[in-house]
Structure 1
Amino acid sequence: MAHTDQSIDTLVSISGTLASIGLALVAILVSKASIDHVEMIADDLFLFSSLGFLFVVVLGYLAQKQQGTSRSARLLIAAEWTFSASLATIVIGAIAMVYSTV
């Protein structure tokens, strides 16, 4: 995939939104009166994925600032891998939440 300014902007925008959603889920779980073991694991997964998405925002910003250099390309690749890992983590957390309600 060719990296463009638009792809970097999209990655940063989506990561910011998903970080906010993950932090909201953490806040909802923490506010519950009782939380079981599976919900605690899901809470941690949502927190780690949010941190990963925030890291993607930072990497995307740095990649934009160094546009056109080889370092920019490496930062963007790191941002894409971090985004993928964070997305997988939030999906695993969602599966754990569904499992805890069943």
Structure 2
Amino acid sequence: MDPGQRPALAGLRPAAPTPARPRPLPWATAAAALVLAGLTGITGLAFLGKISLGPPAPSGTGIVFYVVPYHYGYAFYDSGLVERQAIEVKVGETVTLVIVPAQALP
């Protein structure tokens, strides 16, 4: 008897057919490749210093102070990143406050 023509054994069910494999979607593959290429390009530009992923420089006028929140309170820094106990300005003077995470300080 030919091996492909054997009768089924008693008490055993024939194997269920395996479901068809889903067809690959070429547009999804192309979209994923495009997204990964874009992310790689942005990472490369940031690494080379061509673009900055950090917060933008303050565009305000007047005196610039940086406020850094800590778990116990706040720290104030002037535009030269010198820590100040308090912010003191003249009445009517324009002040720009920039909030900076504590981990971002040098």
| Category of TM-score, reference length = shorter chain | under 0.3
Higher helix fraction: Structure 1 or Structure 2?
1
Q: TM-score, normalised by structure 1?
A: 0.28
Q: Which has the larger radius of gyration?
A: 2
Q: By percentage of residues, which structure has more strand? A: 2
Higher relative contact order (CA 8 A, sep 6+): 1
